[in-house]
Structure 1
């Protein structure tokens, strides 16, 4: 449909690609030179394993049910709940 521009409204577009790249660069800069993503991931994996290490049989059953439902993350890399 070919419509005439409304003289009372200004149409403009914004490309957020540059802004997103700038935002990500600022986040990495704010983390500082001592940030070690591999160490952070390793610590998160250790904390996750410790958190669920002492479950009894009923707790493991419930945990497995919640993982299967996507409520809790599983053991796979990059785990995150799907809901």
Structure 2
């Protein structure tokens, strides 16, 4: 018993053409940014937000016991956490 395989003919008409496809999302990005700013509202103060963030981090790392302070110091030394208050968590 003999089995023969045939391969379909290929030629210029059989090949799928590749087409370059590009999308410019510039207008969508501008719209997204405008919507974010509208959602933040006119009272949004980025400087105050950063100040509040700093206060939150100070509070987060305050009142550490000896083991927590050691871990904090190790993380600062390893560059995982930024130096705050001279390299020690706030008391």
Common fold: TM-score over 0.5: yes
Larger radius of gyration: 2
Residues of 2 paired with 1:75 and 1:23: CA distance? 35
Say which structure, 1 or 2, has more relative contact order (CA 8 Å, 6+ apart).
Answer: 2
**Superposition TM-score, scaled by structure 1 size:** 0.64
Query: What is the aligned residue count?
Result: 69
Q: Where does structure 1 differ by over 6 angstroms across 4 or more consecutive aligned residues?
A: none
Unaligned runs of 5+ in 2: 1-14, 85-91
1:63 to 53, 66, 72: 72
Unaligned runs of 5+ in 1: 77-83
**Superposition TM-score, scaled by structure 2 size:** 0.59
